[in-house]
Structure 1
Amino acid sequence: MKKVLLLLANGFEAVEASVFTDVIGWNKSDGDGTTELITAGIRENLKCTFNFTVIPEMKISEINIHEFDALAIPGGFEEAGFYEDAYSEDFLNIIREFDRAGKIIASICVGALPIGKSGVLVGRNATTYNFGIRQKQLSEFGVNVLGTEPIVIDNNIITSYNPSTAFDVAFKLLEMLTSKVNCQNVKRLMGFYQDISL
């Protein structure tokens, strides 16, 4: 079983988290059955950007990265407190450990910023939210920002430039964990292809 750790910061954007839970969940139930997702956070209760509460399955202190194959990080809003958790040393250390082990790290939108702050993207290619100051902030962490690319993959790290890329990032993660054929089948089952006979 391939296990994905969905690392949630307070103030995360719900839609960006839900694509990971749904794509990995659809694969578990209707795809090749080889994936599972576990949620974790610093707090016992996390409030998402637009005000509903989530109870993560694990506290960040309980994470053993050797039990996981990939890390997924949704973005969030500064006004909702996202960076308080996402820039904490406990959060950044999980990112560093996954990268040191060569495991996949997939992020959406400003989920790339804690990856940049952790130091693992120095001299590497990435992107983040493509409006306002966020790409400049990512470059200040020593990252080569490819600002016009919707999704950037540099070895084991996937970054993207806004919420519109969310499903594409989740499907790329599934493809990297399983196979292209399996990923296409899950996309078909979820209705992403018009021709359902594919």
Structure 2
Amino acid sequence: MNIAVLVFNGVELVDMNGPLDVFLHANRFNVAPFYNVYTVAATPVPIISEGGVVTIIPQYTFETCPDPELIVIPGRIGNDADSTSIPAKPEVVEYVRQMAGKGKLILSVCVGLYTLAETGLLAGRKATTHYLAIDYVESHYKGIDMIKNVRYVHDDNFITTGGITSGIDGALYVVEQYNGPDVALKVANIMVYNREAALPPGTILPLHDQSAS
């Protein structure tokens, strides 16, 4: 199963590495499908991560990468004074739009939802993102049914996750669907990750008032 992890300037490192680690650990159990994980960018030039602390050399570009079955979209944190969370550039958005249109599975992590939402494909669908970003999504991307207080949401071929480490939850969910719950549990144990942990109290938000929509 080919998995393209998108990288771009300002990529949030845990958003990227959390899901990547899940799929690589799942390969240790030699069960089908085997995950072929690779990084993809719009161009082959080096990528500067959030905060400018890590330089990433993408393995492929959109034109040269193996045909992916799953695309992971990390969040982007601007490398500027205010570190604003922002969508990836238009060429990345267009690539996601094309891949989603072909029925590829799309996994957005945290504010990677901004890039996915820019495609317009989430209108009328359920989704989630970081608890501090939900108000922004609701005000800037109309028609998305934002779900609060969850680690991930699966709607059609879109899986969206609720925060930085929730990308791990989303990836474990994919492993569970394709490799079964036993493998997903073993991967979580290797990563010393508790999928059943309660959400931190300070992140719990009032539920969406459906009657007001």
What range is the shorter-chain TM-score in?
Answer: 0.7 to 0.9
Matches within 5 A, 1:110-189: 110-131=111-132, 134-139=133-138, 140-141=140-141, 142-189=143-190
Does structure 2 retain, via aligned residues, the 8 Å contact 1:31–1:185?
A: no
Per the alignment, residue 61 of structure 2 pairs with 59
Secondary structure (helix, strand or coil) at the match of 1:37 reads strand
Per the alignment, residue 25 of structure 1 pairs with 24
Letter in 1 for 2:162: Y
Secondary structure (helix, strand or coil) at the match of 1:121 reads coil
Letter in 1 for 2:56: V
Per the alignment, residue 73 of structure 1 pairs with 73
Q: Which runs of 5+ in 1 are unaligned?
A: 194-198
Separation in 1, partners of 2:28, 2:149: 35
Separation in 1, partners of 2:86, 2:191: 33
TM-score (norm 1): 0.82
Q: 1:36 and 2:6 equivalent?
A: no
Q: Which has the higher helix share?
A: 1
Coordinate RMSD, CA, aligned: 2.2
Separation in 1, partners of 2:26, 2:124: 34
Does structure 2 retain, via aligned residues, the 8 Å contact 1:87–1:117?
A: no
CA 1:100–1:166 in 2, change beyond 3 Å: closer, same or farther? Answer: same
Superposition deviation, residue 169 in structure 1: 1.6
Q: Decide which structure has the larger Cα Rg and report it.
A: 2
Q: Which runs of 5+ in 2 are unaligned?
A: 195-213
Per the alignment, residue 3 of structure 1 pairs with 2
Per the alignment, residue 96 of structure 2 pairs with 95
How many percent identity over aligned positions?
A: 22
Q: Give CA deviations for 1:144-171 in whole Å, capped at 9, x if unaligned.
A: 1113333222122111222131321221
Separation in 2, partners of 1:102, 1:179: 22
Secondary structure (helix, strand or coil) at the match of 1:122 reads coil
Superposition deviation, residue 183 in structure 1: 1.9
Q: 1:15 and 2:43 equivalent?
A: no
Greater CA deviation, 103-112 or 70-79?
70-79
Does structure 1 retain, via aligned residues, the 8 Å contact 2:48–2:55?
A: yes
Separation in 2, partners of 1:148, 1:21: 24
Separation in 1, partners of 2:97, 2:8: 16
Superposition deviation, residue 68 in structure 1: 1.4
Separation in 2, partners of 1:98, 1:20: 19
Per the alignment, residue 206 of structure 2 pairs with none
